[in-house]
Amino acid sequence: MSDALVTMVLHPLPAAGEAKPWEFPVPEHGALANGFRVQRCHRPGQQVVAVEIALDAALDAEPEGLDGIATIMVHALEEGCGPYSAEEFAAELERCGATIGSRVDYIGARISMEVPASRLARALGLLAEALRAPRFAASEVERLVRNRLDEIPHELASPPRRAAKQLAAELFPASSRMSRPREGTEDTVARIDAAGVRAFYDAHLRPGTATAVVVGDLAGVELDRMLADTIGEWTRPVAPPSSTPSTTAEDTGRVVIVDRPGAVQTQLLVGRTGPDRRDPVWPALVVGTYCLGGTLTSRLDRVLREEKGYTYGVRAFAQVLRSPAAAADGAAGTSLLAISGAVDTASTAPALADMQKVLRTLAAEGLTDAERDLAVQNLVLVAPLRYETAAAVAGTLADQVEQHLPDNYQAQLYKRLAATSTTAATEAAVAAFPADGLVTVLVGDAAQIRGPVEALGMGGVSVVTS
């Protein structure tokens, strides 16, 4: 290298300083008189407080033919309650500087609120009204239903969402709720009305099976009284917690193309099912998945992005779909293990061929110690940064509750990640991503990609045109 290119004094790579101890926080437990369980965590300096409400109302609870009603119901909680009309409720929340989001999946229903600590009492009061006194006015439910019907075409037009919908339909039997869109189809959503929404609310929402997680700077906050005066006032008859059906999946290797004539890219989603967090393999699975596709220096992007330029980036991930209580029926948990990304149309088959090669090389040669070390260091050391905000801590605490994990799960996970060997990470990654046992969904231009993809011999290739 010439002087003209290096104009500075070069210094050797510095050594790290001494790491400061950090642990994922252990929550403090409590319960309200109405049965609402409470977890709280004081995080000094976090002026925006996060509140997570976990409710026992998963998608499996939806009545036959009414897919989407759970999601409509949690959204309708905000559309008028107690003394507030829908517009008034939204305005009152805004006055508090509060935001609320809600969603339902195969684990449960969640309402997430964030609000500056100084207005926590007011915002909890609003949240309590939504939970205990929703109006479910016919006109508001009808509007949510029409909105939802109009949103479906937008979702289907989004390549990643269209791919996710197809993969679910491929992996799970049609009889399973997991095979169908979380927020319903045109047919099922069109059947939803206010009476049905209220019936679903009456059947499934109750404080006795709910948990509230509150995280933030709680110094000087009289949280016990605040909670007792708000969500503590919600009374409902006691009922047992729901049970979760068992899951079967069909992940024989095959390719499904969702045709998008003229698409300049192909969206890839390549996956199968795996275990939940309680499986002893989970830490090794996390390390192995990171080595395969956690970042742009992982095996997949090192080839597909940084060597070939086929993509802006592909990622491998493991996402828990179901984690039922260790129940008498022995129902096991389920996760989705997948690789996702987008490649330019002409590079579709070459990118899949390279992906197959990466997976086969991994199976044949295993991970290196250096890769394992880099992954473990990142996954463990990034924790204080990942959990800087109250919302991040609250989200993980609520996940622990919903997935029936012990309070110290996340803290212990870091110790188990650090103890994961290269061999264990390799075995977990190879078992999770077998080159011949993955369902490949491609959202792209079938006329251009079908032939080259068939030539790869990745199993049967079918084309879906809608």
Partner 1 sequence: MGQTASHDLRAGGLTATEHRLANGLRVLLSEDHLTPVAAVCLWYDVGSRNEAAGRTGLAHLFEHLMFQGSAQVHGNGHFELVQGAGGSLNGTTSFERTNYFETMPAHQLELALWLEADRMGSLLAALDEESLQNQRDVVKNERRQRYDNVPYGTAFERLVALAYPPGHPYHHTPIGSMADLDAATLEDARTFFRANYAPNNAVLSVVGDIDPDQTLTWVEKYFGSIPAGTGKIAPRDGTLSGNIGTEIREEIREEVPARALMAAYRLPPDGTRECDAADLALTMLGSGMSSRLYNRLVRRDRTAISADFGMLRLVGAPSLGFLDVKAASGAEFAEIRGAVDAELASLGADGPSAEEMERAQARLEREWLDRLGTVAGRADELCRYAVLFGDPLLAFTAIGRILDITSTEVQDVAAARLRPDNRAALEYKPVTNSNGGTGQGQAQQEEAGQ
Residues 282-341 that bind partner 1 (CB under 8 A): 295-297, 302, 305-312
Nearer to partner 1, 7 or 330 (CB): 7
Shortest spacing between CB 459 and partner 1, in angstroms: 26
| Interface pick for partner 1 out of 156, 169, 190, 418 (rule CB under 8 A) | 156
Binding residues for partner 1 restricted to 19-38, rule: CB under 8 A: 19-20, 22
Distance of closest approach, residue 354 Cβ to partner 1, in angstroms: 14
- Three-point CA angle 106, 287, 438, nearest 5°: 60
350-389 residues near partner 1, rule: CB under 8 A: 373-374, 377-378, 380-385, 388-389
Query: How many of the other CB atoms lie within 10 Å of CB of 436?
Result: 13
Q: How far is the CB of 188 from partner 1 (least distance, A)?
A: 18
Site for partner 1 in 251-270 (CB under 8 A): 261-265
Which residue of 146, 225, 357, 415 would you call a contact of partner 1, by CB under 8 A?
146
> Could you tell me the CA-to-CA distances from 288 to 321, 337, 338, 428, 432 in Å, in that order?
19, 12, 13, 6, 9
Of the candidate spans 144-152, 185-193, 197-205, 218-226, the one that interacts with partner 1 by CB under 8 A turns out to be: 144-152
DSSP 238-307: --PPP----------SEEEEEE-TT-SEEEEEEEEEE--TTSTTHHHHHHHHHHHHSSTTSHHHHHHTTT
Q: Among residues 13 and 364, whose Cβ is nearest to partner 1?
A: 13
- Return d(Cα 100, Cα 349) in angstroms, integer: 43
3-state per-residue secondary structure call for 5-37: CCCCCCCCCCCCCCCCCCCCCCCEEEECCCCCE
Nearer to partner 1, 29 or 146 (CB): 146
Tell me, by CB under 8 A, how many residues bind partner 1. Answer: 82
Q: Where are the alpha helices (DSSP H) in 158-264?
A: 159-171, 186-190, 194-204, 223-229
Binding to partner 1 by CB under 8 A, coded x per residue (else -) over 158-177, reads xx------------------
- Alpha carbon of residue 47 to chain centroid: 26
Q: How many CA atoms lie within 13 A of 80 on its CB side?
A: 12
How remote is the C-alpha of 263 from its chain's centroid? 27
Work out how close the CB of 317 gets to partner 1 at its nearest, in angstroms, rounded to a whole number.
Answer: 16
Which stretches of 96-158 are DSSP H helices?
120-132, 138-157
Which one, 9 or 364, has the nearer CB to partner 1?
Answer: 9
User: Looking at 145-153, 227-235, 246-254, 361-369, which segment touches partner 1 (CB under 8 A)?
Assistant: 145-153
CB atoms inside a 10 Å sphere around CB 438:
24
Residues of this chain, 36-95, that bind partner 1 according to CB under 8 A = 44-48, 78, 86-87, 90-91, 93-95
Q: Is 171 helix (H, G, I), strand (E, B) or coil?
A: helix
Q: Which stretch binds partner 1 (CB under 8 A): 26-34, 124-132, 153-161, 197-205?
A: 153-161
Q: Structure tokens of 191?
A: 């059947």
Which position among 116, 125, 253, 437 is part of the footprint of partner 1 (CB under 8 A)? Answer: 116
Residues in the chain: 466
For partner 1, the closer of residues 248 and 377 by Cβ is: 377
